[in-house]
Amino acid sequence: TSDLFQPGPETPKEVYAEKPISLRMVGTYHQFGAFVSGVASLPRVVILTMHDIALRPKNPGKDVGIKDSIPLELSGTVKTYRYLDEEEAAEQEKQAAAANGGKG
């Protein structure tokens, strides 16, 4: 289950845009694997990078041993990336040239 899914502002770069997403999810190890597999099989290109990720037992302190069904909590930030279209890329080039004093 998703306890938090909070997209941040998109940041345009030279030829791509980066969008951070803060998330907190609860599930089993295999459910997290299925989630990542599902993202990988999307019909468009989605690249996820993980930053400041923590994976820990949902109920720490219980002596549950090692089991596939133990609920885990995953929290942190993932970043997604997309290519800028031609118009967006031209705008980025114009802004970069202006920042360099018209050079470039």
Within a domain: 65? no
Count helices and strands in the chain by DSSP H and E runs = 2, 5
CA atoms within 13 A on the CB side of 48: 16
Confidence of residue 92 (pLDDT cuts 50, 70, 90): confident
Q: Please check the confidence at residue 8 and state whether its pLDDT lies above 90.
A: yes
Tens-place pLDDT, residues 13-58: 888 888 888 989 999 888 888 988 887 887 766 677 777 778 788 7
Within a domain: 80? yes
Global pTM reads: 0.68
Within a domain: 81? yes
Within a domain: 102? no
Domain carrying residue 86: 2-58+70-96
Per the structure, the count of domains in the chain is 1
CATH code for position 92: 3.30.70.60
Residue 9 tokens read as 């502002």
Within a domain: 52? yes
Q: Please check the confidence at residue 62 and state whether its pLDDT lies above 90.
A: no
Give the integer Cα–Cα distance in Å for 19 and 13.
11
